[in-house]
Amino acid sequence: MYFQTMAYFMNSFFSWRFVLKIIIIFSLYFWDVAMSSSVNTAPRAVLRSEQFVPVSARITNELSDIPDFEALESSISSVLRRYDVKGASIAVAKDGKLVFAKGMGYADAEAEEPVEPKHLFRVASISKLITAAAIMKMQETGLLNLDDVVFGTEGILNDSIYLDYRDPRVTRITVRNLLNHSSGWSRRFGDHMFMPHIIARELQTDLPVQATDIIRFALNRRLHFNPGSGSSYSNLGYAILGEIIEKISGRSYEEFVRETILYPLDIYEMRIGGNFEASRFENEVRYYEQSNASEVLSFYDPLARTPLSYGGNDIETLGAAGGWIASPAEMLKLVTAIDNKSDHYKILSDDSIREMTTSTPGNQPIGWAGTDRFDNWWRTGTFAGTFAIVRRQNNGITWAVFFNSSTFRGTTLSSEINHHMRTALNKVEQWPDHDLFHHYETLPRLYPDLAGSK
């Protein structure tokens, strides 16, 4: 590192561009050193993400051309062909180190743009894991308690717009009930987050409806069971958690999560996605539905019809329940940081991690879709044009697989992907020694003026 830097120094001109290059080179080097020695330390203050290079932009497919992973690639390739999936991205971590990150197929089929580790995908309900981590961090720092009530004059959301509720039992709903889907709402008459036209008509408001409108609509309905007495999967509950984060922090949900959870982990690309193809972020994939998919009423216009993946679902309003986009590599950075067996940097305490992964009878785990008695944890997410799964295994292996296409399998695809991944990874005889989380070879991809620098 030092000899390369001195050679570069001797062959450059003294200018503001040169000074900027040197600052960036040394900042990235010492930042990596600091992170390598920061096991179990307090979160570091970080600046805006644009000033740092995300891990997924520093690595390429070629770095994962590894013979021992050929079975994995072949297995997932067969799935892509079978279900006409346009593109996929896979990442694998072993004992906290990113050892494999590779794209397959197309990020944009029309432009024939291949998927690379840099590409971002909608992760749908994996967003709930991100929200849960933020809530647990708020409890650790004393901003709230999981047993705090949410509604009513003594609740966190005691704003006037939420005090007109139909069922007095809502004043018994706690933050914990929202986290483990035991708040009392169910999807018996539909999912609150996916009925914008009904909500707009009842509240006599214009489309698109906001999260506050959806919560007001739900408060005007009776609960389906007493809070804490049962469990029913609820996107609404996590949307309410997003409102709680905003109320307590005084910041937007996305800003709080990025600055409190993601930036301290050097995760800079994860963010709330957009609703339309024209609002895709740089490096975000295009989304594809099945060839026979029908158009639906848009969430923003009572008369317009649109593809479900672009204008049918309001990704931005789903936010805390399902709005995030990410690369598999950065997703694994988050998951390995909320692993109580990890020797690397952690964002949550062991007590918080234990609480998230311990299911109580009749309730679901916090943030995760499932955990088992063998200490395996998993989270899935599915939208039109999107499939995502991340799994933390009890043998030190963590992996993520993201698709940019719908399949007729829907949510049941997760069991098939899990089988393929576990079978292929069991065939790996020699695990790589490298850690792609700390790879800096491809800096020129974001900073062309730094060509040749490391």
Tokens of 86: 């346009």
Tokens of 328: 């598999």
Which of 251, 231, 254 lies closest to 179 in space, CA to CA?
231
194 phi and psi angles, rounded to 5 deg? -125, 30
**Domains of the chain and any CATH numbers:** 2-52+440-450 (no CATH), 133-253 (3.40.710.10)
Query: Is 298 in contact with 305 (CB distance < 8 Å)?
Result: yes
Query: 403 by DSSP, 3-state: which?
Result: strand
DSSP 157-178: T--GGGS--S-GGGGG-BHHHH
**Burial of 153: CB neighbours in 10 Å, binned 0-12, 13-18, 19+:** exposed
What is each CA distance from 380 to 53, 122, 123, 273, 388, in whole angstroms?
A: 27, 12, 8, 17, 6
Q: How many helices (H) and strands (E) does the chain have?
A: 14, 12
DSSP 201-260: HHHT-PSSPPHHHHHHHHHTS--SS-TTS-----HHHHHHHHHHHHHHHSS-HHHHHIII
pTM over 0.75: yes
Distance CA 62, CA 53 (A): 19
Query: Is the peptide bond between 208 and the residue preceding it cis, with omega within 30 degrees of 0?
Result: yes
pLDDT in tens, the chain (454 residues): 444 444 443 444 344 444 443 443 344 334 333 333 333 333 333 333 444 678 888 899 999 999 999 999 999 999 999 999 999 999 999 999 999 999 999 999 999 999 999 999 999 999 999 999 999 999 999 999 999 999 999 999 999 999 999 999 999 999 999 999 999 999 988 999 999 999 999 999 999 999 999 999 999 999 999 999 999 999 999 999 999 999 999 999 999 999 999 999 999 999 999 999 999 999 999 999 998 999 999 999 999 999 999 999 999 999 999 999 999 999 999 999 999 776 667 899 999 999 999 877 788 999 999 999 999 999 999 999 999 999 999 999 999 999 999 998 888 899 999 999 999 999 999 999 999 999 876 444 444 443 333 3
H helix runs in 220-375, sequence order: 235-249, 253-257, 315-318, 328-337, 350-357
Which of 307, 280, 437 lies closest to 384 in space, CA to CA?
307
Which of 72, 94, 96, 117 lies closest to 431 in space, CA to CA?
94
